[in-house]
Structure 1
Amino acid sequence: MFWDPLFDKASELSGSPPDQLKLIFSLLISYPLGSLYVRLPPSKPYIAHLFSVIVSTFVVVFLLELRTGMLHLLFSIIGTYIISATVDGRKMPWIAFIFVMGHLLFNHLNRYFTAIPATAIEITGSQMVLAMKLTTFAWNIYDGKQNEEHLDASQLQTRLTKLPDPLAFLGYCLFFPSILPGPSFDYASYDALVHHTIYQVPPPGSSPEQVKATKKRLPYGRKRVAYLHLSVGLIFLGVYATYGSRGAYSRILGTEWYEWSLLQRLGFVQLAGFLARTKYYAVWSLSEGACILTGIGFNGYDPKTGRTLWNRVRNINIISIETAPSFKVLFDSWNCRTNVWLRDVVYKRLTKKGKKPGTKQSMATFVTSAFWHGVDPGYYLAFVLAGVLTSLGRQLRRFVRPYFLPPASASINTPPTIAKRAYDLVGQIVVQVTLNYTACAFILLGFKDCIRAWSRMWWYTHVAIILTMAFFHFGGRRSLRKGLEKRGKISAERFSTIGQGRRSPLPSVRVSPPSPISKPRSPPPQPEDEKDPKDLRWVKHALDNPPDQDSGEAMGNGFNSPDGGWVDGIVEGSETPNVEKVNPMNSR
């Protein structure tokens, strides 16, 4: 196209491939287009549908020149719509799931065997986002035909009692700010956006007059939060463009690795991990900001402060990731929309009503997550290792963390002790060090490259895992438990089900619009307080994940953990060696 020389020149100056520059350009133009989109008349929703279809077609077909890729997207879209419209019963969403994921897997295999580099912009990235939308849509249609008493709160809010018309469905699938990097969301949210009903959530403590006014205007804070995400995205984009190649994991495989001291090697691994994440921080922040400008990010009001929430489609919490004291917090904050999708489409759907989920559900969710990412060996090496780390994290939280907590008689407002602060600091360091080791496989992808890189890192995370599991298995877990019981930190009843093959109940999550919450003790401030130009607290508020955000908790709660529970079985072995013989009904 006629603009290719411009991107080629920019590529020479920046050192970035032209297709990646085109991707960034497509995200940046979504901002002025988002400001225009939010002003489209809700009385004529077909204009909004056509707007997204035209913009996305321009980006995919003409800007990125993925013409065959666009045909793949349309194939999945049309196929899912036909299945949803013609197939009835419980099998319908599963047929749609197999169709969509099978098509995605086909393209993943094609990319792998044709040796297309992971850095190249091709259609599987967009198809991954679309797969989440399509499979979620099929279940929403299915839920719309079920009795309400058979559905949970989130399913009731996203169910569709009738099939949307083809143009509306196409507008949802090709929603322009998220056509490439995501995030995904359900059709009910898109429909509420197009008709502007998404904004009709009154602030807490509103008078009847304020409720009426709410329905006639956009909530406050949309632009500044959107442009905050734009700024964050551009900052991380600049960091990655400047230092990404210098801190690439691939340098571990070079000869220069042996010229560094041991401390330099360890430090480089941490730097490489952070720089690798900046690429995702940049793209996801830019995409989220554009989505907020369209209005899809509005998620009601914070019940404690009365401030507007714009986190409905949040995909990442950078602060929580970089300061995570545990792998649970880390995975709760990374790729949140994918976690929500895995929970809603696989994990919960495989769990029979009235039953608790177990190994089968966990493994099915893990396999889905793995194939959704691709077929490269590095994904599976990273996911399995992450699952083991998560399981060990649960053991540490259960048996080690209570030693650093204040006594049970202490007031709830008692500040953390120095020991607890030290424990949290050590936890943050351990999480980052092991995360950056694990992420190496996720970036390098090739089996030989992953193994060679880990060997040059002295297998330090694998060694730590083996030593920790050995400690728990050979009496450490039992000693820690007895010590806690003596200290009065925990009761014997708490451990009555540990090691019995039981699972915690399904995690609940609030899906926008926010679920009803208990009334705060004191009236929250009115949203007008946000307009104070000297009040910069909104910046932290906009980047945090408030408690009622629709965040996924896949890996953190263990239902996307690839170990399937076998790690818990190993570390519990010395304490309950014959548990399956005692109660074979607990075997899964």
Structure 2
Amino acid sequence: MAVYGDWVDALGERIGAPGAALRLLISLLMAYPMAFFHRKFMYGKYHNLQHILFILCGSYIGYFNYGWQLMHAYVCILIQYVVVWVSRGTLFSVVFAFVFQMGYLLAEYYLTESEKYDIKWTIPHCVLTLRLIGQAFDVYDGHRDFDDLSKDQKQQALKTMPSLLASAAHIFYPGSFMIGPQYPMKRYLDFVEGKFSENGKPFDSIGPAMKRLALGLFYVGIFQIGNIYVNSELLFSSTFKNLNFIMKMLVVGIYGKIVLYKYVSCWIVAEGSCIYSGISYNGKNDKGVIQWTGCENIDIYLFEKSYKFGHMVGSFNKCTNTWVAQNVYKRLKFLGNRQISQTAALVFLAVWHGLHSGYYVCFFMEFLIMNAEKQFESIITKNSALMRWHNSTIGFWINVVILKTFVMCYFGFCMVPFTLLKYRQWGPIYKDLYYSGLLIFGAFPAYAPIIKWLVKDGGSKPPRRTEGGLENGSGPSNTIPQEKASVKSE
């Protein structure tokens, strides 16, 4: 049970927001004054005192939200630290971390999950689970032959065992304790040691941080207003059932977008505090401009301009996607099969989210969609006439409008089970939509040969769109860079 619940719940009732959600937002905002204090008085100094400060601040935030349920975090941190310290650098420590932390999380889900999505102590424990497993991996990599490591592993490997204070502070860092973002222990240690600075002073990050805070609060407002009109109750209403198929899909698409804004807004607010503190520092670009993308969890430009599922998946929850790519997908490289690695990564994410059937359907749909989209693109790009049309300015924008609408609708189709969780809730909605997403994407391999025959082309290679326009012409480029799209998560 959270402390100070009465006044927060009363305020939430007055402004139309659940008390738990309001406490979460307040907690994300608390990280800003804490970041100010750290920048002003402790940046790059007194490493152990910094660890203690972060542990105390993060613990207070956890207690503010969930009371003494915070003790679960202490238990997991302490047990893993003892085991990794005793067996430091061995494969056993990684296996133990994976089994123990995921087992503890699943036990929590089994004992606490309800019929709806709840904001409860398992949310920060999700973040803790990945972070502790990542610590074990990094210590393990630090004791392996350096030449056997990948580029990412070389950058994150820990050759010496971090202290218990450092390990706990990495978990409780107030800017990322509640909902992330994920980042490796090495980034945290470099931050504490003052490596993200110039002449011992942190870079000026106030402007970029305030811009992210303002943007995050803007999306909070969009979600609050949108959720009034398009919410799960609408999907269960007779109004929705009486709509035709196209209108139902549009409503589902808008519903999915609004639901995503709930996560997007929180990620941006959290990222702002990480920028303010300086832990998001990611070097300078070729022009000497500081990049504050080290803890970027949402590429909002790509997210809003998405006209492909790959764009959508690659644009949000980037830090968690990176963690899963590095610690699940890439570490299964020895299997020699990308499909198996991709499936394992998505299954891991589904299990990590919880035990509800909706999570598994959502990630199964992602698997179907991403594979169908890749196959469809490989077929279409071989037709020179279609590509000339797409690469023309008017053709490109007509395609984008159509594709954006299609992507929005079927991304919403994926979000229905993710948010409604139980089959008895999301099943009837899928029935109202004629299971169209499963049919379109699941059956794609069956009708792909027909599409291939219809668009078969032996013509010349079409002009290619480049950053400056078309390869054989002029005009502005409308291309959105393709982000690495592997997995998505909460």
Report the TM-score when normalising by structure 2.
0.88
Change (3 A) 1:2 1:138: closer
Change (3 A) 1:431 1:404: farther
Query: In the TM superposition, what is the alpha-carbon distance from 1:256 to its structure 2 partner?
Result: 2.9
Q: What residue identity is the alignment partner of 2:116?
A: P
1:476 to 430, 442, 451: 451
Query: In the TM superposition, what is the alpha-carbon distance from 1:486 to its structure 2 partner?
Result: 4.1
Query: In the TM superposition, what is the alpha-carbon distance from 1:41 to its structure 2 partner?
Result: 4.1
Query: In the TM superposition, what is the alpha-carbon distance from 1:417 to its structure 2 partner?
Result: 4.4
Counterpart of 1:372? 352
| Cα distance between partner residues in 2 of 1:66 and 1:265 | 42
Contact preservation (8 Å) 2:44, 2:194: yes
| Cα distance between partner residues in 2 of 1:454 and 1:227 | 41
Q: Within 5 Å, give how 1:31-70 maps onto structure 2.
A: 31-39=32-40, 40-61=42-63, 63-68=64-69, 70=70
Counterpart check, 1:329 vs 2:311? yes
> Structure 1, residues 378-429: CA drift from partner, whole Å, max 9, x if none?
1111111111111110012111134368989xxxxx9754334433443222
2:486 to 554, 557, 578: 554
1:281 to 249, 261, 264: 264
Q: Within 5 Å, give how 1:407-422 maps onto structure 2.
A: 416-422=392-398
2:410 to 409, 431, 434: 434
Q: What residue identity is the alignment partner of 1:195?
A: E
Q: Within 5 Å, give how 1:387-406 maps onto structure 2.
A: 387-403=367-383
Contact preservation (8 Å) 1:336, 1:553: no
| Cα distance between partner residues in 2 of 1:77 and 1:198 | 26
| Cα distance between partner residues in 2 of 1:161 and 1:240 | 44
Change (3 A) 1:226 1:56: same
Q: Residue 389 of structure 1: SS of its match in structure 2? A: helix
Query: In the TM superposition, what is the alpha-carbon distance from 1:350 to its structure 2 partner?
Result: 2.1
Contact preservation (8 Å) 1:52, 1:174: yes
| Cα distance between partner residues in 1 of 2:238 and 2:167 | 53
1:487 to 460, 463, 470: 460
| Cα distance between partner residues in 2 of 1:16 and 1:417 | 44
Q: Residue 234 of structure 2: SS of its match in structure 1? A: helix
Q: Residue 197 of structure 1: SS of its match in structure 2? A: coil
Q: Residue 161 of structure 1: SS of its match in structure 2? A: coil
Change (3 A) 1:402 1:320: farther
Counterpart of 2:94? 93
Contact preservation (8 Å) 2:358, 2:419: yes
Change (3 A) 1:45 1:441: same
Q: Residue 66 of structure 2: SS of its match in structure 1? A: coil
Contact preservation (8 Å) 1:189, 1:198: no
Q: What residue identity is the alignment partner of 1:443?
A: T
Counterpart check, 1:218 vs 2:202? yes
Change (3 A) 1:476 1:103: same
Contact preservation (8 Å) 1:192, 1:198: yes
| Cα distance between partner residues in 2 of 1:464 and 1:350 | 30
Contact preservation (8 Å) 1:229, 1:285: yes
Q: Residue 290 of structure 2: SS of its match in structure 1? A: coil
Contact preservation (8 Å) 2:358, 2:418: yes
Query: In the TM superposition, what is the alpha-carbon distance from 1:444 to its structure 2 partner?
Result: 0.7
2:169 to 168, 171, 176: 171
| Identity level (%) | 21
Query: In the TM superposition, what is the alpha-carbon distance from 1:31 to its structure 2 partner?
Result: 1.0
| Cα distance between partner residues in 1 of 2:301 and 2:169 | 33
Q: Residue 42 of structure 1: SS of its match in structure 2? A: coil
| Cα distance between partner residues in 1 of 2:452 and 2:229 | 43
Counterpart of 2:7? 6
Larger radius of gyration: 1
| Cα distance between partner residues in 1 of 2:375 and 2:53 | 51
Q: Residue 332 of structure 2: SS of its match in structure 1? A: coil
Change (3 A) 1:3 1:488: closer
2:331 to 349, 353, 363: 349
Report the TM-score when normalising by structure 1.
0.74
| Cα distance between partner residues in 2 of 1:477 and 1:343 | 32
Counterpart of 2:476? none
Q: Residue 383 of structure 2: SS of its match in structure 1? A: helix
| Cα distance between partner residues in 1 of 2:307 and 2:92 | 42
For the aligned residue pairs, the C-alpha RMSD in angstroms reads 2.7
Greater mean alpha carbon deviation, residues 239-248 or residues 372-381 = 239-248
Counterpart check, 1:464 vs 2:440? yes
